[in-house]
Amino acid sequence: MNAQRRTRSDPRAEATRAALIDEAEILFARAGVDGVSLREIGSAIGSANTNVVAYHFGTKDALVMAIFRQRLASIDLRRADLLSQADRTGTGGDLIALLDVLCRPFLEQVDRNGRHSYAAFIDGVFRSGRLPLRAALAPEFEATNAIAARIAGMCGADPFDKAFNTRLQLALSMVMATLQLIDHEGNGDGERAGTLFKQTLEMMAAALRADTSK
């Protein structure tokens, strides 16, 4: 029986995996993906086994993908719900409303310290050059793909166009920066947070609509 199968059948191992994923997200958010060692992550959950991360995930990239999978499962469901709401209220054809559907789960997520750790984690992944890890998981999340495709169509782009997807990723980086600013100011639940988020969506829409052919 291999280690992966033992992990799946052992509740204690599952609890350890979950703790490692949660702690790694927070540490990567704070110091960047390349600024944290696997040993530090294991130590952060109180494990005396210096190889605990390698045992459960193998590599740092595999751990990054595990974080994505855990977060994106619930985010995709939330996006599906928000998209359904937008369609029912007649705003599903509005670009800013769709960007809200795409980005609001980032605003809603906070860690045990009340910070937007997943947004900061994504920013760290972006800076580390590991975004292809996220792209590899795209087929697993239908609602997110449907929203991105609708956004692309509203901007006159093909959803599979690499240049447009790069622009969308750059636009999303505005949200990640905004959420980190909100965390820095300590206004996660305040009116200013909502105002900054709304302004960021408007800037994203302007960036995506901009004519870049010149």
Share of the chain above pLDDT 70, in %: 94
Question: What is the Cα gyration radius of the chain?
Answer: 18
CATH no., domain 3-209 = 1.10.357.10
What pTM did the predictor assign? Answer: 0.89
Find, among 126, 145, 13, the residue nearest to 72 by Cα.
145
pLDDT in tens, 121-142: 999 999 999 999 999 999 999 9
Helices (H), 58-161: 60-88, 95-108, 117-128, 131-136, 142-154
User: How far is 191 from 47, CA to CA, in rounded Å?
Assistant: 41
- In one-letter notation, the amino acid at residue 203 is M
Helices (H), 58-94: 60-88
User: How far is 134 from 129, CA to CA, in rounded Å?
Assistant: 11
pLDDT in tens, 169-191: 999 999 999 999 999 988 666 78
- In one-letter notation, the amino acid at residue 139 is P
